[in-house]
Structure 1
Amino acid sequence: MDSTPVLQALFDSLQARPRPEDVADLVLQLAKDLSLAEHAVLERAARGALRRGLQELTSMAEDFDRPVAPERQARKAVELFQTARALSPAECADVEKVRVLVRQLAEEIHKTPGRSDFSEDRLSRKERKASGMEVSRRRYNKLFRFVCRFERKVERLAMEQRKYEAMRIAKSSLATRIRWTDFAASREAACFVAYFSARCNRRSVFTSQSQDAPFDDVARMLLTRFLRAPCREGWLAIAHVMPDLDIVRHLDGADRLALFGTWTAVLGELARLLERTWARSQFNRATMVVSRGDDSSTWNALAGAWNASRQGWLALVHALGMADVAEQLCFGKVMRLMAADVAAWHRADGGGLEPDTLVWAALPAPWEVFSGKVSCTRAQVVAVCRAHGVDPEAKHWTFPRHGRRAVPFKPTPELVHGVVVSHPELASMLRKAGWFSGKDVEPLPEDAPAVRVERDAAGSVRVVHADDKARD
């Protein structure tokens, strides 16, 4: 039986957001010579696959929300402008190609690209006539405003694409950049990479505790199978999704340098975006609790990507024998913003401010350290960590992640804005009704099941169940 379609499906899953159960089912079709114990471990996850029919549907979208390309604006440009050419959907998703189109539109109406000052940049009737534009004032104004809006749309698209890329890195490191040749070189590595990436890409549960770790007993078993017959390409593929020190040490010199260069470039881009976002915001660095008007989605995507990239960079620094670099250039983590209700939940559960937040607030801004504007050494980070009761190595402030411990496999829950719901159909109903969205809630359909809300001692919602006896 040709296994290439299954291998291709696993490779394609790196660009999407499938449930780990569905990936485990694919792995079970591809993996050969499984022992009875290995089959049992994999089957425990695969039995929850949608293909098996035990759970016939899911309310969770199986892809990330991708930036919306300006296809409508590109079509409208063809109607309005003589020089505009039709762009394909793929070209509309390419920021540089759309920018070329917008510049052509600006040139057609003699508008300075990038300037949106209608009063100063707009041509007078005499100027329009001198430039060969035989159009009415009303039509010219319409074209001018269209180009201004299109320019702003393109810049928003560019930022949304950077944010999208950052979110993917925050979740699964460089999994989306793995080459097919490296992925397909080792069937065992491919199985691990696809399953572990799916575990990394799971949505976060609304909780006052830490999230379930992605490295579970299924991932450990798949990694162990690869270790029996490792190969260079397999190590490189795994290092893209799990850049721990005990992984990247197995790369050869050229692969280490290449991956180090990739992580350095990613950090440079993230540093610029973090600095720009910080300058435009009013975040409280001492608490990192969200306030009204804060762009938490952008900040948290960038912060998560920075922390993942920093770990990969730090692992490569040590693997390359450049630990002295980390002694002098020890930029810290970036803390995510926390919702006020989650912060209150932490306090109700007896917790206080996360100690890592205190360390982050006391250290120089990481983007300033990376750019060389300020200095931050390993000794400084160690001193600040110890002052706040944080172990700098155990919390990965000064040393890369290594030696992960596997957690037991847990089925992927159905979530509505992070809240666990017992059944996918109920989850779909609650999402459509606006539950847990922070917006006005609509009544549930008449055929909706009765609902029982399980709360903790502080009154925070833990799980929503379908219940025939009660309706909340």
Structure 2
Amino acid sequence: MHNIQNLYKSLNERKRPEDIAELIADLMHDKLTVAENEILKTAAQSALNRNFFGYTSMLESFGEVIGADRQINKALEIFKVQNFSDSDYSKTEGIELFLYGISPLISKSVGQNNFKTDRLNKVERKEAGLHISRRSYNKKWRLLKRIEKRLQKCIVEHKKLEFQKISKHGLSHTIAFKDFNSDLNTACFIAYYNARCNVRSVFTNHSQERPFDEICDMLFKRCVHNSESTNWWAISHIYTSDETLSYLTEEQKGLLLGKWTSVIQEIAEFLGDLWKNNDINRKTMTVRRGNDSSTWNNTAGAWNKARDSWMNLIYSLGMEFILDDLCFGKAMRLMAADVVAWHYTTGGKIDPDTEVWNKLPLPWEVFEGKAFCNKKLIADICREVGTDPEKSGWIAPRMHTVAKFKPTPELVHGVMVSNPFMAKILKKNKFFSGKINNN
């Protein structure tokens, strides 16, 4: 049971696939065939506690959002009140609950933060029954304003963190424990595939490794072989292949399509804001000074992941006719100038996907109904630039392939390093970061 809980916990972490494989090997050793154990062993034998170094320099978690605990604790002290809730003040809901509970104590309306027009004057304070000095009132008013500002920051940071997770592994971090724990084969496949999806990108001028490797394939085949006990609803939150969706009811597919449509809607709004606030070179998608490339790339990745899942569901439901009226494109990630230069010096040219991106309306504007784009327009432009519109995933589900397992590398800003000790030293001295160490 402990290992199952660790597997479930890993859905919100960035554990190495090797360490997840070891947990699976302990859980399923007597349930796997000799051949299956051998396949799993290729990864499990490189787990950290079996590794010569015994640790990794890579963070094994996603980032955390800094909440308003410090400001709220100060407010409780200044207002001289007891903590009136058990809320988590690292979460937006907890901060909002606090603001709506404490603001009436000085007759302040949440959201009314103009220092000149929204504060009460002496007469108004007296009428409101506030028998405190102007200095004390202003101090409390300003503190609540700062907490509201922190709330808005938290909302944005939670969105960024959510989109980063979606860009890597879809909706696996939203799977309920009861669904995850309902079947061992289901849990093991989800946990291992989730870890593979979360592996960081490598600095290269070639395409990244596909996350679905031979161990994923073996674990998924066990789910198929035991399909009656497999929780396909849980699996569909991370792996929306045609085969996975074939096991869902039409109602489940509809619910999942609704989930992904809502996700796309939220990402569309955020992408639009990022586009307005960053001077992005659309033609080359090369990073310029001042571009928030990390946030853009995570959000664009979330868009593409959501779009792929949405497209898979549209086809699985037999609703391809929708694409004749609405078919939004992919969102391109920003590339570092040195990667682009490296690509060109090795005989490469502008990526066909970037050429298609340049000729299409912005995808979030299409989704929001501000621009028109359909399947035919995308297909015509794909052929114009010499790429297959279906195989490239522009107008149809992506092609499924199985990659060979490769050990998780130690990375310093995407550059592979021989061991974690060396990686730690290079990180400390800002190697490959594009920054100068002035120490």
The TM tier, using the shorter chain, reads: over 0.9
Structure-2 change in CA distance of 1:276 and 1:228 (3 Å):
same
Deviations 1:122-148 (A, max 9, x none): 333444344333434433333232222
Deviation at 1:156, TM superposition (A): 0.8
The residue aligned with 1:314 is 311
User: What amino acid maps onto 1:375 in structure 2?
Assistant: F
**407, 420, 427: which one pairs with 1:424?**
420
Q: In 2, are the aligned partners of 1:125 and 1:137 still within 8 Å (CA)? A: yes
User: What amino acid maps onto 2:60 in structure 1?
Assistant: E
User: What amino acid maps onto 2:71 in structure 1?
Assistant: Q
Q: Aligned partners of 2:242 and 2:331: how far apart in 1? A: 21
The residue aligned with 1:221 is 218
Deviation at 1:40, TM superposition (A): 1.5
Runs of 5+ consecutive residues of structure 1 not aligned to the other structure = 444-472
2:364 aligned with 1:367? yes
Q: Aligned partners of 1:87 and 1:56: how far apart in 2? A: 42
Greater RCO between the two (CA within 8 Å, min separation 6)?
2
The residue aligned with 1:284 is 281
Q: In 1, are the aligned partners of 2:57 and 2:420 still within 8 Å (CA)? A: yes
**5, 8, 22: which one pairs with 1:8?**
5
Aligned to 2:236, the other structure's residue is in SS state helix
Q: Aligned partners of 2:114 and 2:338: how far apart in 1? A: 42
User: What amino acid maps onto 2:12 in structure 1?
Assistant: Q
User: What amino acid maps onto 2:167 in structure 1?
Assistant: A
Q: Aligned partners of 1:231 and 1:158: how far apart in 2? A: 41
Structure-2 change in CA distance of 1:277 and 1:410 (3 Å):
same
**405, 411, 414: which one pairs with 1:415?**
411
The residue aligned with 1:69 is 67
2:52 aligned with 1:58? no
Give matches, 1:163-242, under 5 Å. 163-231=160-228, 233-242=230-239
Deviations 1:162-185 (A, max 9, x none): 111111111001111222233223
Deviations 1:94-151 (A, max 9, x none): 2122123224444333444324332333333444344333434433333232222211
Q: Aligned partners of 2:14 and 2:179: how far apart in 1? A: 21
Q: In 2, are the aligned partners of 1:434 and 1:442 still within 8 Å (CA)? A: no
The residue aligned with 1:461 is none
Deviations 1:213-237 (A, max 9, x none): 1111111111122222213643222
Deviation at 1:243, TM superposition (A): 1.1
Q: In 2, are the aligned partners of 1:314 and 1:326 still within 8 Å (CA)? A: no
The residue aligned with 1:116 is 113
User: What amino acid maps onto 2:158 in structure 1?
Assistant: Q
Give matches, 1:375-454, under 5 Å. 375-402=372-399, 404-441=400-437
The residue aligned with 1:453 is none
Q: In 1, are the aligned partners of 2:20 and 2:191 still within 8 Å (CA)? A: yes
Structure-2 change in CA distance of 1:54 and 1:226 (3 Å):
farther
Q: Aligned partners of 2:341 and 2:126: how far apart in 1? A: 64
2:63 aligned with 1:99? no
Q: Aligned partners of 1:149 and 1:133: how far apart in 2? A: 21
Aligned to 1:304, the other structure's residue is in SS state helix
The residue aligned with 1:249 is 246
Q: Aligned partners of 2:229 and 2:172: how far apart in 1? A: 17
User: What amino acid maps onto 1:44 in structure 2?
Assistant: T
Q: In 1, are the aligned partners of 2:67 and 2:150 still within 8 Å (CA)? A: no
User: What amino acid maps onto 1:147 in structure 2?
Assistant: L
User: What amino acid maps onto 2:373 in structure 1?
Assistant: C
Deviation at 1:48, TM superposition (A): 0.8
Q: In 1, are the aligned partners of 2:164 and 2:299 still within 8 Å (CA)? A: yes
Give matches, 1:316-331, under 5 Å. 316-331=313-328
Deviation at 1:362, TM superposition (A): 1.4
The residue aligned with 1:44 is 42
Q: Aligned partners of 2:82 and 2:373: how far apart in 1? A: 51
User: What amino acid maps onto 1:299 in structure 2?
Assistant: W
Q: In 2, are the aligned partners of 1:78 and 1:86 still within 8 Å (CA)? A: no
User: What amino acid maps onto 2:435 in structure 1?
Assistant: K
Q: In 1, are the aligned partners of 2:185 and 2:230 still within 8 Å (CA)? A: no
Q: TM-score, normalised by structure 2?
A: 0.93
Structure-2 change in CA distance of 1:356 and 1:212 (3 Å):
same
Moved more, 353-362 or 76-85: 76-85
The residue aligned with 2:258 is 261
CA RMSD of aligned residues (A): 2.0
Q: In 2, are the aligned partners of 1:83 and 1:105 still within 8 Å (CA)? A: no
The residue aligned with 1:468 is none
Q: Aligned partners of 1:225 and 1:125: how far apart in 2? A: 73
Q: Aligned partners of 1:378 and 1:84: how far apart in 2? A: 59
2:318 aligned with 1:302? no
Give matches, 1:130-141, under 5 Å. 130-141=127-138
Q: TM-score, normalised by structure 1?
A: 0.87
Q: Aligned partners of 2:167 and 2:131: how far apart in 1? A: 52
The residue aligned with 1:351 is 348
Q: Aligned partners of 1:289 and 1:261: how far apart in 2? A: 34
Aligned to 1:254, the other structure's residue is in SS state helix
**Identity score, percent:** 42
Q: Aligned partners of 1:66 and 1:228: how far apart in 2? A: 39
Q: Aligned partners of 2:84 and 2:420: how far apart in 1? A: 41
Q: Aligned partners of 2:63 and 2:429: how far apart in 1? A: 20
User: What amino acid maps onto 2:168 in structure 1?
Assistant: K
Deviation at 1:265, TM superposition (A): 1.2
Q: In 2, are the aligned partners of 1:47 and 1:54 still within 8 Å (CA)? A: no
Aligned to 2:88, the other structure's residue is in SS state helix
**31, 34, 58: which one pairs with 1:33?**
31
Q: Aligned partners of 1:227 and 1:184: how far apart in 2? A: 17
Q: How many pairs does the alignment contain?
A: 438
Q: Aligned partners of 2:85 and 2:311: how far apart in 1? A: 42
Deviation at 1:37, TM superposition (A): 2.2
